[in-house]
Amino acid sequence: MSTVGGYKKMNWNSKQPAWKEFEIARARRRNAIKQFQAQSDALAYAFSNAFNNQINGVGEVAAMTAQARLNKRVAEMQKSMEANYAKLDKLV
């Protein structure tokens, strides 16, 4: 049995110093926090846009409904006025 083989089999690999492990763990945590913050910001922005689009959509639907109602009322008034003018034409 060789020394190198025994060295690896006995799990005698040298470890990094504790400060280096803490530094690596801190860097991983920092990256995870940055990634989480970016994802949270993106999610908040998406919800904000969805809410604004919904508000705008509801406003547009309400405006279109009001416009259709006004157009219908104008058409009724025009028919009424045309009927009145027709009556006046018959009198004259």
Q: Is the dihedral of CA 60, 66, 70, 75 positive or negative?
A: positive
Q: What is the mean pLDDT of the chain?
A: 85
Please tell me which residue, 5 or 12, carries the higher pLDDT value. 12
Angle CA 32–33–38, to nearest 5: 100
Which tens digit of pLDDT belongs to each residue from 49-70?
A: 999 888 888 888 888 899 999 9
Measured CA to CA, the distance from residue 39 to residue 33 in angstroms comes to 10
* 92 band by pLDDT with thresholds 50, 70 and 90: low
Which tens digit of pLDDT belongs to each residue from 32-53?
A: 999 999 999 999 999 999 998 8
